[in-house]
Copies of this chain bind each other. A is one copy, B any other.
């Protein structure tokens, strides 16, 4: 059975991410979720905290591994004996950015393929930034993130 790698910044993980993970587990023998840094952005949670939250939110799922990477994603994928990268596709604005990354990855290593999974329509306009903005304003996150994430966000933003 194939192993697939699902990279992201997961800052923090949302129910949209969980949805993609569950769909990927229906297709592949093993799914490795790996946390990387988005160089342009100051994160809300550290890599370690994000890994911890992902572990907590996926503890009932089988055939899953949570990790992190720095440097070139493709080296990480190869190191895991995988040749498949998974990305969730939401709306049109994702589309060209994702295609560009997939192209870059193909040029660097043509043996690793990126495949796209459509997010559940309920999460089509959801991303981690908007979740953080909502948490910052003290709003409820009604089913958009796992409970533990909502709790951690509340702690984080009440401190500031």
Contact = CB atoms under 8 A, between A and B. Distances in A.
Contact of A122 (B100, B102, B121, B138): B121
A96 to B, nearest CB: 5
Given A27-B84, A92-B92, A140-B108, A100 B125 contact: yes
Q: Chain A at the B interface: mostly helix, strand, loop or mixed?
A: mixed
A148 to B, nearest CB: 19
14 contacts: A27-B84, A27-B115, A91-B91, A99-B125, A101-B130, A102-B118, A103-B125, A104-B133, A104-B134, A107-B134, A108-B134, A108-B140, A121-B121, A121-B124
A160 to B, nearest CB: 13
